[in-house]
Structure 1
Amino acid sequence: MSTRRSFLQQIAASAALSLVPLSSLASERKYEGPVLRVAIMGLGGYGTRVADAMKTCQKAKLVGAISGTPEKLTRWQEKYGIPAENCYNYQTFDQIKNNKNIDVVYITTPNALHHDQVIRVAAAGKHVICEKPMALNAKEGQEMVDACKKAGVKLLVGYRMHFEPQTLEVIRLRKEGAFGKILFFQGQCGFTIGDPTQWRLNRELAGGGSLMDIGIYAINGARYMVGEEPIWVTAQETKTDPVKFKEGVDETIQFQLGFPSGAVASALSTYKMNNLDRFFVNGEKGFAEMQPSTGYGPIKGRTHLGELKAPHVTHQTRQMEEMAGIILEGKEPVVAVNGEEGVKDLKIIDAIYKAVKTGKKVPLNLI
């Protein structure tokens, strides 16, 4: 009887197990590999977004904070459980070289500060993740790449879209030839910017205007959607509010890119219009359209084959998980996120500004 009862219990247990979703089982598996210990520099809106997203990371953990505002450091210690000994200000953060509990510093400060901060972090022997744009120009960017190589640390750029599932699906389809020969890319990136006193409208801190902040998505997107490096650029600037958008701070820029295969790209970057977050790539056999294409919320899109249906994961959570793999395990992402990738975008930005100023087609050499 006991044998029969045991047999029936095993049958019941097996049946119950078969009803449990595999996703539930996977979520209960505890990660036991190496964990990337992260300090965030710049505790503003985006730094907070990254910190919140890391709460659900398994491979990356927030352990430190760097800020010029003592009150922010106190709040972060309380909110995220950060030890006081892992908190620094902008004058003292070189001391992280003596802190064995921090592996990498994620820099989310204004653009103009990136260059010196990355070089200082590298000199302290820590890996660096730097928000885009990596620097104010390609010269600065290359100096950052060189400094990190000299120090033997990795330099990654916060290209969260390079890990986004819908984006990666379009790239996969393009690589497999689903669209045929790529002919055209269109990128529309923009919103109506608010507070005129914010750092994004300060040339000294931002290095420009909409192109540095939002237009870089279209620049980077053109490259990974077309699958080539552009060889020329033309560009035009429109400014309707010279009071809000002072000299050197672009309001709206349209630019065009040409590729070796003959494909062309047309893009719009603006701080003056809403409802602009769209990518479209067209080939001889098909197309892909994404809208929204780069926003923080779920990315939505379709191709000639149907709707894109990959599940949404918070971008910064997925980014930090993948970057932990790159830094700790040497993993190679589908689309590069290293400093060299950042320099290429900066070379294009330099060329766009030159094209605006001269009204001429500017050649590019990114190889």
Structure 2
Amino acid sequence: MNSRRDFLQKLTTSAVAIPFLPLYGSSEQFNFYDQLYDGPVLRVAIMGLGSYGTRVAEAMQNCKRAKLVGVISGTPAKVKDWQAKYGIPKKNCYNYENYDSVKDNPDIDAIYVITPNALHHPAVLRIAAAGKHAICEKPMALNAQQGQEMVDACNKANVKLLVGYRMHFEPNTLEIIRMRNEGEFGKILFFEGLSGFKIGDPNQWRLNKELAGGGSLMDIGVYSINGARYMVGEDPIWVTAQETKTDPIKFKEGVDETILFQLGFPTGAVASCLSTYSMNHLDRFFLNGDKGFAELQPSTGYGPIKGRTHKGELTKPHVTHQTLQVDKMAGVILAGEQAVVPVDGVEAVKDLKIIDAIYEVCKTGAKKTLEL
């Protein structure tokens, strides 16, 4: 966790001044990315060098409190390319068989797991055993039992477990949360979350139950599940759900195409959400209260996120989500800072419990009580 004054002096010549929301949720904003930072830096290795891993790596080039220093991959050619592109030393390069030896590498503080869903659980257990902090993409695991095992392993090893909830740091999203907390929407009555797109290649891992753990719900549907919770500001106490499948060849047994689900909250608010792999143009959140409303469309895409409330358009400037996410996660790990909306493993286990329940009630047709 060394400082890198020279690196950041070069970085700030190209950085854009953007208001930065502190992790503590203060209304104070400051031009974090327009200031020289010379504090501790989280040194991160990325596991999984696919398309999203590449997106995170590119975004991390603009981070101030985190730096990409290592890779873990089963593809030697990718490792070689990343070494050349990002200046990663050979001693910080691992494959899926030997990365346990990262425990002996003091130059890596955390490993960001960006692999197919089924690989998250074993990877985080090994990372914890190696004494490194873990950042894991969502869904954190295939089910709540696996997720809890991951939380327990990291607690036992005294390392952090964070999950890639990038929207928890997105400025317009946080503005809605601030307004709700200050009562500007009044009593929250209703939330709608629409998350979906037409998925392409039928042979990709997202349509393989062994690797994905399901279908659309385990991918895009997580956004509406988690979004319902942070937009309403409560955890749900019951769930109902219905599954629809129009293409059983592409969406095989155990791989859901479209799921409608409904959530009920302690204060009486209800949520109606859609998760699908068969419809485009579905990226919208709507929150309704007895004094006002908030809408985000797009609500969870890579940005810019756009929205409005009963008071007018939301105008927070766009910052690359993964840059904000990793920088602020560095604050959580290095300085014990707290996110406005939690991004730890405990948060992820709650989402996994809801996913487990949705799949169950799709089969039973019954309303299920939730205990998160």
TM-score, normalisation: structure 1: 0.93
Give the Cα–Cα distance (whole angstroms) in 2 for the partners of residues 186 and 36 of structure 1.
37
Distance 1:326 1:26, change over 3 A: closer
Partner of 2:185: 179
Aligned counterpart in structure 1 of residue 241 of structure 2, from 222, 235, 247: 235
Partner of 1:127: 133
SS state at 1:346 partner: helix
Distance 1:260 1:120, change over 3 A: same
Cα distance, 1:28 vs structure 2 = 5.2
Q: RMSD value over aligned CA atoms?
A: 1.3
Count of aligned positions: 346
Q: Say if 2:285 is the partner of 1:279.
A: yes
Aligned counterpart in structure 2 of residue 345 of structure 1, from 333, 345, 351: 351
Give the Cα–Cα distance (whole angstroms) in 2 for the partners of residues 89 and 56 of structure 1.
26
Q: Deviations over 1:139-180 (max 9, x none)?
A: 000000000000010000000000000000000000000000
Counterpart amino acid of 1:51? A
Partner of 1:189: 195
Give the Cα–Cα distance (whole angstroms) in 2 for the partners of residues 281 and 253 of structure 1.
20
Counterpart amino acid of 1:272? S
User: Is the helix fraction higher in 1 or 2?
Assistant: 1
Cα distance, 1:328 vs structure 2 = 0.1
Give the Cα–Cα distance (whole angstroms) in 2 for the partners of residues 28 and 292 of structure 1.
27
Q: Say if 2:115 is the partner of 1:117.
A: no
Q: Say if 2:160 is the partner of 1:154.
A: yes
Counterpart amino acid of 1:333? A
Cα distance, 1:25 vs structure 2 = 8.7
Identity of aligned residues (%): 73
Partner of 1:17: none
Aligned counterpart in structure 2 of residue 251 of structure 1, from 243, 246, 257: 257
Cα distance, 1:26 vs structure 2 = 6.7
Cα distance, 1:297 vs structure 2 = 1.7
Give the Cα–Cα distance (whole angstroms) in 2 for the partners of residues 273 and 322 of structure 1.
33
Counterpart amino acid of 2:231? M
Unaligned runs of 5+ in 1: 1-20
Partner of 2:23: none
Distance 1:286 1:55, change over 3 A: same
Give the Cα–Cα distance (whole angstroms) in 1 for the partners of residues 18 and 224 of structure 2.
37
Counterpart amino acid of 1:336? P
Q: Which runs of 4+ in 1 moved over 2 A?
A: 21-29
Q: Deviations over 1:187-215 (max 9, x none)?
A: 00000000000000000000000000000
Distance 1:314 1:64, change over 3 A: same
Give the Cα–Cα distance (whole angstroms) in 1 for the partners of residues 210 and 351 of structure 2.
20
Cα distance, 1:29 vs structure 2 = 3.1
Are 2:18 and 2:319, in contact at CA under 8 Å, matched by a contact in 1? no
Give the Cα–Cα distance (whole angstroms) in 2 for the partners of residues 29 and 181 of structure 1.
40
Higher Cα radius of gyration: 1
Give the Cα–Cα distance (whole angstroms) in 1 for the partners of residues 195 and 299 of structure 2.
9
Q: Say if 2:327 is the partner of 1:321.
A: yes
Distance 1:41 1:22, change over 3 A: closer
Partner of 2:69: 63
Cα distance, 1:48 vs structure 2 = 0.4
TM-score, normalisation: structure 2: 0.92
Counterpart amino acid of 2:355? I
Cα distance, 1:181 vs structure 2 = 0.3
Partner of 2:361: 355
Partner of 1:288: 294
1:1-16 matches, within 5 Å, as: none
Partner of 2:13: none
Give the Cα–Cα distance (whole angstroms) in 2 for the partners of residues 299 and 331 of structure 1.
25
SS state at 1:179 partner: coil
1:71-86 matches, within 5 Å, as: 71-86=77-92
Give the Cα–Cα distance (whole angstroms) in 2 for the partners of residues 25 and 191 of structure 1.
35
SS state at 2:151 partner: helix
Give the Cα–Cα distance (whole angstroms) in 2 for the partners of residues 193 and 203 of structure 1.
15
Q: Deviations over 1:110-147 (max 9, x none)?
A: 00000000000000000000000000000000000000
Cα distance, 1:244 vs structure 2 = 0.3
Give the Cα–Cα distance (whole angstroms) in 2 for the partners of residues 337 and 26 of structure 1.
21
